[in-house]
Structure formats: C-alpha cells, structure tokens
Structure 1
Amino acid sequence: MAVAGVAALGMLFVGFFYVASGLVAPAWAIVALWIVWLALAWYGFRLARAGSYLVLGIPVLAGAIWFLVLTVGEQALGWQA
C-alpha cells in the first residue's frame, strides 16, 4: 500500500501543474488535460488495487504528457502567459 500512497502523492503533485496550466493554455486545452489526468488517476487506482508496481509510472506519464502538451502549445500554437 505504500507504493499506492507514493503514486497518489505524485499525482497530486502533477495535478498542481495541470491546474496552473490555466495561466498559459486556453480553456479547451485545460479541459482536455484534466480529462487525461482523471483517466490516468483512475487507471492508477485500478493498478493500485491490483497491487501492481506499475502504478509508480502513472505520475511520471502524467508529467510527461503535461510537459509535451504545453511545449507543443507554446511552440506550435503560440500559447503565452
């Protein structure tokens, strides 16, 4: 269960960045990011219930998706704070 707790703290940490994205990204991108975050949180919960150590990769994946979306948005779509 300690693994699930670490993953949950990781998701909360990454979730802060998803919330803060509202300063840079448009509303449609924020909604899409939150849908992705919620789906990853749900999948992480399922992995935690199964006792899988793969749950530790979920916050890492969430952070990578966030970074990729904001980087592409800034470079290709001109998002700025």
Structure 2
Amino acid sequence: MAIDPATGRRISPWPFVGLVLLVSSFFLYAAAGLLAPAWAVVVLLLTWLAMFVLCFVWWSSHPKRTVVLGIVSFLWWWAAITAGGILLDWRA
C-alpha cells in the first residue's frame, strides 16, 4: 500500500479499482440507445450517475464497496436491457 505523504495515512487501491470498473461500464450505458428506447436510456444514465456519485461517497469510508458497485453497474445494465427486451419487447 502507498502512503500519503501529506497525512501519513495508507492509500487503499480499492476505490481506484471500483472507479475503473464503474467508468468502464459507462460505454454500455451510453450505447444503450441501440437496444432501448430513449426513456430507458435516460433512466439507465441516471442510475449510472447515482452509482458514480455513490462511488465517491464511499471512496474513503468504504473503499471495498466501490469494487462491488463497479461490478453491480455491469450487472444492472445487463439485467435492465435483458428485462426490457423480454418483458417490454424492445427491439434493436
């Protein structure tokens, strides 16, 4: 672990891993317009934005939760697109 020279505290790598996962899922949310109607894309982007903000809220207090959040961002996109395709008959 790295040490912050200003405070002397250890710097956890987990929030960075979580943020990388979360940001890498953004392209799926942005490209959802190819699979879903506009209203669904807006809802998906708003949920992604909420997860992005939550990642920074948990940055110092719960660093390992950010990794779980990054994984959940992929699972939520998949579940929403799959459910919309099956239940709401979204077609590309």
TM-score normalised over the length of structure 1: 0.91
The one-letter amino acid of 1:31's match is V
Which gives a bigger RCO, structure 1 or 2 (Cα 8 Å, sep 6+)?
Answer: 1
Distance 2:22 2:66 in 1: 10
Deviation, 1:51, is 4.6
Q: Percent identity over the alignment?
A: 28
The residue aligned with 2:25 is 14
Structure ranking higher in helix proportion:
1
Among 42, 46, 56, the alignment partner of 2:53 is 42
Show CA shifts across 1:25-59 (max 9, x none). 00100000011001011111111132531111011
Which structure's CA Rg is the greater one?
A: 2
The residue aligned with 1:75 is 86
The residue aligned with 2:41 is 30
Could you list the runs of 4 or more consecutive aligned residues of structure 1 that deviate by over 4 angstroms after TM superposition?
none
Distance 1:31 1:15 in 2: 13
The one-letter amino acid of 1:50's match is S
- Aligned residue pair count: 81
TM-score normalised over the length of structure 2: 0.81
SS at match of 1:48: coil
